[in-house]
Chain A
């Protein structure tokens, strides 16, 4: 079945540091890939997405490129801020599966950014 593997956290960085959170996936079809962010006390919010190979999703300074050859969708940001502290989830939606639009999530990575 489909699965998503994220790098283990927690990740602790100083403000303005470079961020990478690795994500790899296994899917039977041609999935769409997502990064969701969960701020303390809030629901998950879609951060960015990519629907086909070589697409780059970007939002709020975060980027991720859909790499089919390495089955990866790593999240990057050039300069993190304290306000980026949150839990980040990588996810996929495999339209080839029986549950159309169903999301499969990675385990989440806790990011803490210090001033």
Chain B
């Protein structure tokens, strides 16, 4: 099956700093990538949808100036958490979709801890 990687797998940063998380599709072209946030023992919440070469579409309640998403190529999307605060600590998961519209392939996730 298709493989999606995320880097880093975990990161600790200080409050006020910015953190960048990468999501890569390793063996297919991802025309659309999704970014999710998962709190402990809770479901995945979609944060934004990005199409290659276009601006991301953010879900209601997600601050676009805080969670910057870039999808500059068909194999790479990045999520930058700007001016991170402890409440941004969470598990961030990306998924990618190629030409099979209903099939999304998920990355292993990135654990962000803001101290």
Contact = CB atoms under 8 A, between A and B. Distances in A.
Contacts of B42: 107-108
Nearest to B3: A43
B7 to A, nearest CB: 13
B104 interface: yes
Interface residues of B, number: 24
Q: Which of A42, A43, A99, A104 has the most CB of B within 10 A?
A: A43
B102 A44 contact: no
Interface stretch (B14-22, B81-89, B105-113): B105-113
Interface size on A, as a range, is 20 to 34
Interface string B61-105: 000000000000000000000000000000001010100011111
Interface of A: 32, 36, 41-46, 49, 51, 89, 93, 99-108
13 contacts: A32-B102, A41-B108, A42-B108, A45-B1, A46-B103, A89-B43, A93-B102, A99-B46, A101-B32, A101-B102, A105-B43, A106-B43, A107-B43
